[in-house]
Structure 1
Amino acid sequence: MRRTARLLTGTALAVATAGLAAAPAFGDATGSLEVYPSTVTPGGQVTVNTKACGAGSALGDAGAVGAGTFTLAPSAHEGDAIGQFRVPPSAQPGTYEIVAKCAEGDRQVAGDLMVTLMAAHEQVQPRGSVKTGVGGALGRDPVQTAAGVSALAVAAAGGTWLLHRRARGDGI
């Protein structure tokens, strides 16, 4: 009885696995809109392409980010339809959906575009001072700097004179 149950379970599992392997894959490159670069600063140029329309053209809509409509034309690159638009300089940071509708049929695909105020490859270098509460320089005032240097020189000369007198045995 156990052997039969294992055999039936194994057969059912093999059939289910074969059925999954033969099922169409959803979310592949043919059903999406590729947005490059996916992260852009306001005023940047964006290129979109899709295989969803085959060798046909499409009408793109970037109205969500404020760029309006644009055309995707057929390309020689593996049946892609390619188009470009410019993100307006007034665009606010956020994620926006870019849509393309194929000219033939009613197929529509979408992709996401992220607008940031700083380019992804830029690095911010630290500037300024660290607020530790210990204090610091008073600034670049030449009068204060000269007074500080003079005070240190007098202290060093006085210390040297006292050490010299002590070494001679004159006392303090």
Structure 2
Amino acid sequence: MRRTARLLTGTALAVGAAGLVVTPAYGGDGGGDLEVSPSSVVPGGDVTVHTAACKDGGTAAGDASAVGAGDFTLAPAGDEQDATGRFRVPPSAQPGTYEIVATCAEGGRRVSGDLVVTLTAPREQVHPRGSVKTGVGGALGGGDPVQTAAGVAALAVAAAGGTWLLHRRARGDGI
């Protein structure tokens, strides 16, 4: 009986704790529904901001004053229903993480996203090209034909010598 009570109490506590962990800890309007691209930029770089929070092709007022860029407008582009806007990070911007905010014209919903300003541009991945100089040569690289012929001849002599030694050993003549 006590074991069953402990089991039920433990289960209730676990479910209660899980409920506390799963429950969202934010509320109201606001949130991270603003896509900032690129998310990392150098001073003087251009940034595009995109949100789907302003429904039905609505516009929004953007605020990048945290990074020193001031206000900008987000509006639907072409057939898209999502609002898009652009701004330029000032050359005097200091490295750090800045909050970029947009407020929808209808409903006043406020969304935000982060922009990281760095002193060095993110490097693109470089893929190796060409051959590796190992000193061994290769069949695909178009090596020196004289060296290739000498190598083939050396292998042939070694194979013939090995065969001759194995033949003598098999006859019992010794080495």
Q: Which moved more, 1:110-119 or 1:9-18?
A: 9-18
| 1:101 aligns to 2:103 (yes or no) | yes
Deviation at 1:15, TM superposition (A): 6.3
Q: Secondary structure at the match of 2:120?
A: coil
Say which SS state the counterpart of residue 11 (structure 2) adopts.
Answer: helix
**Residues in 2 aligned to 1:103 and 1:86: alpha-carbon distance in whole angstroms:** 22
What's the CA shift for 1:39?
A: 1.3
- Native 8 Å contact 1:31 1:52 kept in 2: no
Aligned mates of 1:47, 1:66 — CA distance in 2: 15
Distance 1:31 1:50, change over 3 A: farther
Q: Which residue of 1 aligns with 2:51?
A: 50
Question: In 2, distance between residues paired with 1:17 and 1:64?
Answer: 37
Give the TM-score normalised by structure 2.
Answer: 0.53
Letter in 2 for 1:31: G
Inter-partner Cα distance in structure 1 for 2:66 and 2:97: 9
Task: After TM superposition, give the deviation of residue 49 of structure 1 in Å.
Answer: 1.7
> Matches of 2:67 and 2:49 in 1, distance apart?
14
* Residues 3-152 of structure 1: pairs in structure 2 closer than 5 A: 3-11=4-12, 13-14=14-15, 17=18, 23=23, 26=26, 31-32=31-32, 33-55=34-56, 56-74=58-76, 80-121=82-123
1:100 Cα shift? 0.8
Q: Secondary structure at the match of 2:7?
A: helix
Structure 1 gap ranges (5+): 124-172
Between the two proteins, the alignment pairs up a number of residues equal to 119
What is the distance in 2 between the residues matched to 1:97 and 1:91?
Answer: 13
Moved more, 87-96 or 105-114: 87-96
Counterpart for residue 152 of structure 1: none
Deviation of residue 111 (structure 1)?
A: 2.0
**Aligned pair in 2 of structure 1 residues 122, 109: CA closer, same or farther (>3 Å)?**
same
SS in 2 for 1:31: coil
Which consecutive segments of 4 or more residues in structure 1 shift more than 6 A?
none
Distance of aligned partners of 1:15 and 1:112 in 2 relative to their CA distance in 1, 3 Å threshold = closer
- Identity of aligned pairs, percent? 60
Counterparts of residues 151-170 of structure 1 (less than 5 Å): none
